[in-house]
Amino acid sequence: MVKGQDLAVSLEEFGLSQYEAQAYVTLITKGTISASELAYYSNLPRTKVYPTLLKLEKKKIAIISKSKPIMCTAIAPEDAFDEIIQEQINRVNAMNSLITKLKQLSEDSKKARGSEEKRYFHLSQNYVFRQLQSMVDGTKTSVHAIIDSWGLGLLSQCKEELLAALRRNIDVKLIIPPSLVGTEGFRELPAGIKLKTADVSQNVITFDDSEILMINSNNGKGAIFLSTDVLGINQVKAFEQTWKSGIKVNTLSDMTKSDAQETLKAIQLISENGLGFVLNSVINSKMKGIDMITFLEKNGLNFQSKTLDDIILLVDSTLNITCAGQLKYESHGNHFVIESKVNSGHAIPWALLLEGYLNRKGIKTKLIYNDHQQTGEKIHIKVDSKVAIS
């Protein structure tokens, strides 16, 4: 039930004083009553009753009789406040019209200066993770991210959302810095995510090539950009360029951090320095005198404690990453087969690495290189028939 006292307080918003509001609510409740009765029911001081009634009459929300005793009646609410309400409506409409004109003036001014306002939303550190979960869950086509350790930590906690996205055939691609390959967060990522590494140091996650979430690694705060005509196109292009030049690292997810880092370093050394050296040596010396292990050891890698299984794993992983290839051992011919789906010598460094390791162990080998222009490369490393590879 609505209380009269509450209504009286609310009526003050219509410009009525406290006494006027109390008197009007009493008249609405009691009907036509005398001034003395009004004072009694509304708890107004007797000296204030008549002045209050005159004010209500002037505002056209009450009627006072000319005879004595003075009788008073309230005007029906729909009639009493219609004029006031209409005045308020007109006032609000005028304010809206003013805001519209100011907004148009602002937009015209920006266009004249060749600029256009776009919206973005700030996120506190505590809200970034929940927003990331929501955006992964709501994506329709793709999640493309360039992330550092902070971003990887957040995404590795979104495992359920990422798995659900992968089940919806969402294209999930992540680019991380080399230092994060093999870390716990790296291994926590669900299988099915496409992973590459490159020299990156930011957190920019693009959803459906339109919405962008940026995260500040220094304080964990974020920002969402929803209108991305220019920013979105540039970020999509930047991601595609970085992705194209990055190194695939999905096959390293089952390795320890040290093994993964060592494999990645070998790939980087060969890619940046070794391949040209190997190919030139192949042309000039027909593969004589090439010591790939020495080349890698001079650049910080250590093969002294590695077993043959370690080398096989390293070579197989690097082949898969660099040229979609693989390493197999065929016992019936006692030889290794290295296959690459691309040619131009991409598999040669890894074949020389394996051969160099075997030679260091006193095992004689013979390397046969076949370059198939259409189907890629195949390299056979025949092992001395007196030696059995277990």
Q: Please state, in angstroms and as integers, the Cα–Cα distance from residue 248 to each residue in 234, 268, 270, 273, following that order.
A: 23, 11, 15, 18
Give me the mean pLDDT over the 203-220 stretch.
90
Percentage above 90 pLDDT, the chain: 26
Give the CATH number, domain containing residue 50.
1.10.10.10
Greater pLDDT, 358 or 8 = 358
Percentage above 70 pLDDT, the chain: 87
Q: Does position 1 have pLDDT exceeding 50, yes or no?
A: no
Mean residue pLDDT of the chain comes to: 84
Q: Does position 48 have pLDDT exceeding 60, yes or no?
A: yes
Domain boundary among 183, 218, 252: 252
Claim to verify: residue 321 and residue 354 sit in the same structural domain? yes
Instruction: Confirm whether 16 is domain-assigned.
Output: yes
Q: Does position 18 have pLDDT exceeding 80, yes or no?
A: yes
- Give the pLDDT confidence of 329-347 residue by residue, as tens digits: 888 888 899 888 877 677 8
| Planar angle of CA 308, 313, 316, nearest 5 degrees | 120
What pLDDT, on the 0 to 100 scale, is given for residue 114?
56
Q: Does position 210 have pLDDT exceeding 90, yes or no?
A: no
What pLDDT, on the 0 to 100 scale, is given for residue 16?
85
Give me the mean pLDDT over the 337-359 stretch.
85
> What is the C-alpha to C-alpha distance for residues 365 and 383, in angstroms, rounded to an integer?
5
Instruction: Confirm whether 88 is domain-assigned.
Output: no
Instruction: Confirm whether 110 is domain-assigned.
Output: no
Claim to verify: residue 266 and residue 378 sit in the same structural domain? yes
Claim to verify: residue 165 and residue 75 sit in the same structural domain? no
- Give the pLDDT confidence of 269-317 residue by residue, as tens digits: 887 776 656 665 665 555 555 678 888 888 888 888 889 988 888 888 8
Least confident range of 41-45, 173-177, 274-278, 329-333: 274-278
What pLDDT, on the 0 to 100 scale, is given for residue 275?
64
Q: Please state, in angstroms and as integers, the Cα–Cα distance from residue 356 to each residue in 10, 233, 347, 376, following that order.
A: 92, 48, 14, 23
Claim to verify: residue 190 and residue 219 sit in the same structural domain? yes
Give me the mean pLDDT over the 228-241 stretch.
79
Give the number of domains in the chain. 3
Give the CATH number, domain containing residue 291.
3.30.70.990
Greater pLDDT, 254 or 385 = 254
Instruction: Confirm whether 96 is domain-assigned.
Output: no
Instruction: Confirm whether 103 is domain-assigned.
Output: no
What pLDDT, on the 0 to 100 scale, is given for residue 267?
84
Instruction: Confirm whether 156 is domain-assigned.
Output: yes
Instruction: Confirm whether 303 is domain-assigned.
Output: yes
Give me the mean pLDDT over the 124-142 stretch.
90
Q: Does position 2 have pLDDT exceeding 50, yes or no?
A: no
- Give the pLDDT confidence of 62-93 residue by residue, as tens digits: 999 888 888 999 988 888 888 778 887 888 88
Claim to verify: residue 263 and residue 201 sit in the same structural domain? no
The domain in which residue 125 lies consists of 120-252
Q: Is the pTM of this model over 0.85?
A: no
Domain boundary among 194, 217, 252: 252
Claim to verify: residue 224 and residue 302 sit in the same structural domain? no
